[in-house]
Structure 1
Amino acid sequence: MQHVVIVGGGVIGCLSALNLLDAGARVTLIERRQIGREASWAGGGIVSPLYPWRYSQAVSALSDFSQNFYPGLGRRLAERTGIDPQVTPCGLLWLDSDEQADALAWAERQDKPLRSVEADFIYQQVPVLAEGYDSALWQADLANVRNPRLMAALRDYLTTIPECRVLEETPDARLLVEHGRVTGVDCAGDILRADAVVLAAGAWSGDCLATLGLALPVEPVKGQMLLYKADPNWLQSMVLHAGRYAIPRCDGHILIGSTLEHEGFDKTTTEVALSSLRASAVQLLPALAEQEPVMQWAGLRPGSPEGVPYIGQVPDYPGLWLNTGHYRNGLVLAPASCRLLADLMLGRRPIVDPAPYRIEGRVQRR
């Protein structure tokens, strides 16, 4: 496979490009705005599904590969670009108690170092936590990656590779179909011929596929976040309760997230979300009541049924491949998803069973 055009410059598009470049392909990466500035920038960067025991084996298989992959990727990008993505294994405390039995059973099946802990451990690990938590689940090896830095590093790295062409601010990218085959992309009259096209446009993937008369069940789901600033190491580990989380960064910034809103492609931040997220922040970390958030933002996740992504070639349209629909777990699943895509495109033995992610039967004609 000599030349691949990838539509979408988030973490899925960028890591798809990197995998194909490593295999000797030539890649053109097209992004409607700026590389890595949509959902991949907006998320929290926890390298795990929020509640991994709730997900199918299809999600778990990709997550397992990715968790082991990120430390090496972080080192590679830091060495090549000087931008450290700050993959930080600070551990995660689940403060919800009603699912502990299910979670521990899942951990035993999956051989995960998840364990139940009591109040003494909880407050030794996170002294600034609100009072009243008697038990929790703890996994010490879980990391978060500072996703804006990750995306900046990926962009810088890709732009230095001679075999990679990066096109930003290219909103009008349309699939080029000739004799029933996808042969490239038409960028407002600039025709890019390719041996294969990968659609990795996140929440916008459904609109792109609709031009072929296909209905992809991927829709935008807005998530709003808050950012606070504390001293470094004030919050030492990630904490999660009732679907809301606090994530520490190395420099003392703390992310609070997130909302789940079905508002189409509207990324407007709202006072309602601000109030709700501030309440969650104070419920977890009471000292934040004395602070104003330093930033509020929103991103659009590519929502999909059960969060199982679409990875593979599109039936009846040879030359067109999908890598999209990761919902809340784009950063979590990206390394494995993009490796699997490259395996399938290049005819290599896949790292995981590709059957759950196939397009057949999951995309219908409109």
Structure 2
Amino acid sequence: MHQILIIGGGAIGMLTARELSMAGYRVAIFDRLKTGRESSWAGGGIISPLYPWRYADSVTALACWGQEHYRELAEQLSLDTGIDPEWTQSGLLVLSPEEEETARQWAARSGSRIEILDREGIASREPAIDNTPDSGIWLPDVAQVRNPRLVKALHKDLAQRGVEIHEETTVERLLIENGRICGIETDEGTYRSDKVLICAGAWTKQLLGELGTTMEITPVRGQMILFKAEPGVINRITLENDRYIIPRRDGHILFGSTLEHEGFDKRTTEEAGEELYRIATSRLPALKSYSIEKQWAGLRPGSPAGIPYIGPHPDVAGLFVNSGHFRNGVVLGPASSRLITDIMLEREPILPPAPYALNAPREEIDA
């Protein structure tokens, strides 16, 4: 019998499996596709919430913990697996002058570094931007990872640690007896365990539906486009009107993303691609010299106020959840994975777990 079964092999599931394995537990992961190929692969890899001051302090706490540990995580994965997640401190430039006071207040509460830049300061940070506004918000400590490389490194790391990875395996139902989890039933067989963790992203609510849980996790489609440019065309992550530009080390530039409530439809649309291209090239005219190399879509696990569900199921002993990270799975992943591991193993938690409980209230804050 495996001591712990994890449903979902995205970044959240794999990071949690790594934590549990490092604590000495035998772990098996089950994923309906290949590990890391859903929202973990499709996102941008920014190690910060977009407009972090718009989120509850509980989200900020997870993000800050992850930001403090991400470079070490990426370097260790690179050393152990030979796959470099490309942790890069690009900084985040937010072109939203109307939010400067809110950003100042958030920075004072969280201890985060920000600077308010004038037009010249913005141009010095990112000269490629056209129509520079009068002021902007600069977060110099924000970094990024190349998320496809991150999940590849995690997969290899888990395999080296002896974690059993079941890909293209559908979990058909949870096995519950007398109010306690006792395993899962999959299309390849039954697996018994007295501890099961659900990290299934947008599909989490489907798995828990038969239990009548009140968790609100819904799929939110996000489409992005990718330019193949030259290194140095743009050097900073830049955010304006909910659209972000992310430069990679090799010259690739990501631009996204949409927010669409279309159920589990993951198709890309010509309309979204044209809109993203128009906005990207209007902000960065230099991109007109480069073609779109790729367009794709992913399904984020949306949750109320973007606060993830991290903790035990209130009605089924031995059943746990780590899901609902919305747009912030990459940045919140290390902290949420450590926190759920602390909870499952009854260790002193890195953060107070109450705000993330499955039945905790989740309310939007005033931005």
**TM-score, structure 1 as length reference:** 0.96
Q: How does 1:200-279 map to 2 (within 5 A)?
A: 200-279=199-278
Partner letter of residue 212 of structure 1? L
| Cα distance in structure 2, aligned partners of 1:349 and 1:179 | 29
| Secondary structure at 1:211 match in 2 | helix
| Cα distance in structure 2, aligned partners of 1:154 and 1:189 | 24
| Secondary structure at 1:169 match in 2 | coil
Q: Which residue matches 2:52?
A: 52
Query: Are 2:78 and 1:78 equivalent residues in the alignment?
Result: yes
| Cα distance in structure 2, aligned partners of 1:351 and 1:361 | 18
Q: Which residue matches 1:115?
A: 115
| Secondary structure at 1:328 match in 2 | coil
Query: Are 2:26 and 1:26 equivalent residues in the alignment?
Result: yes
| Secondary structure at 1:49 match in 2 | coil
| Cα distance in structure 1, aligned partners of 2:290 and 2:219 | 31
Q: Which residue matches 2:137?
A: 137
Cα distance, 1:362 vs structure 2: 6.2
| Cα distance in structure 1, aligned partners of 2:361 and 2:183 | 24
| Cα distance in structure 2, aligned partners of 1:109 and 1:204 | 34
Deviates more, 1:121-130 or 1:78-87: 121-130
| Secondary structure at 1:36 match in 2 | coil
Q: Which residue matches 1:325?
A: 324
| Cα distance in structure 2, aligned partners of 1:350 and 1:135 | 40
| Cα distance in structure 2, aligned partners of 1:361 and 1:159 | 35
Query: Are 2:353 and 1:351 equivalent residues in the alignment?
Result: no
Q: Which residue matches 1:97?
A: 97
Partner letter of residue 103 of structure 1? A
Cα distance, 1:189 vs structure 2: 5.5
| Cα distance in structure 1, aligned partners of 2:359 and 2:142 | 34
Query: Are 2:36 and 1:40 equivalent residues in the alignment?
Result: no
Q: Which residue matches 1:340?
A: 339
| Secondary structure at 2:98 match in 1 | coil
Query: Are 2:288 and 1:289 equivalent residues in the alignment?
Result: yes
| Cα distance in structure 1, aligned partners of 2:333 and 2:109 | 23
Cα distance, 1:126 vs structure 2: 1.2
Query: Are 2:149 and 1:161 equivalent residues in the alignment?
Result: no
| Cα distance in structure 2, aligned partners of 1:362 and 1:198 | 22
Partner letter of residue 338 of structure 1? S
Partner letter of residue 227 of structure 1? L
2:8 and 2:201 in contact (8 A); partners too: yes
Identity fraction in percent: 48
Cα distance, 1:76 vs structure 2: 0.8
| Secondary structure at 2:36 match in 1 | coil
Cα distance, 1:66 vs structure 2: 0.5
| Cα distance in structure 2, aligned partners of 1:362 and 1:123 | 42
Cα distance, 1:249 vs structure 2: 0.4
Cα distance, 1:12 vs structure 2: 0.6
Paired residues, number: 362
Q: Which residue matches 2:365?
A: none
| Secondary structure at 1:260 match in 2 | coil
Deviates more, 1:281-290 or 1:75-84: 281-290
Moved over 6 A (4+): none
**TM-score, structure 2 as length reference:** 0.96
| Cα distance in structure 2, aligned partners of 1:74 and 1:308 | 24
Unaligned runs of 5+ in 2: 363-367
2:228 and 2:291 in contact (8 A); partners too: no
1:210 and 1:216 in contact (8 A); partners too: no
Query: Are 2:173 and 1:174 equivalent residues in the alignment?
Result: yes
Q: Which residue matches 1:146?
A: 146
Partner letter of residue 35 of structure 2? I
Q: Which residue matches 1:67?
A: 67
Cα distance, 1:258 vs structure 2: 0.3
Deviation string, structure 1 residues 240-270 (Cα, Å, up to 9, x no partner): 1011010010101000010000000000000
Cα distance, 1:174 vs structure 2: 1.9
| Cα distance in structure 1, aligned partners of 2:334 and 2:7 | 17
CA distance change for structure 1 residues 339 and 281 in 2, over 3 Å: closer, same or farther?
Answer: same
Deviation string, structure 1 residues 65-105 (Cα, Å, up to 9, x no partner): 01111101101110111100001001111111111111112
Q: Which residue matches 2:194?
A: 195
Cα distance, 1:213 vs structure 2: 3.2
Cα distance, 1:114 vs structure 2: 0.3
| Cα distance in structure 2, aligned partners of 1:80 and 1:129 | 38
CA distance change for structure 1 residues 115 and 362 in 2, over 3 Å: closer, same or farther?
Answer: closer
| Secondary structure at 1:98 match in 2 | helix
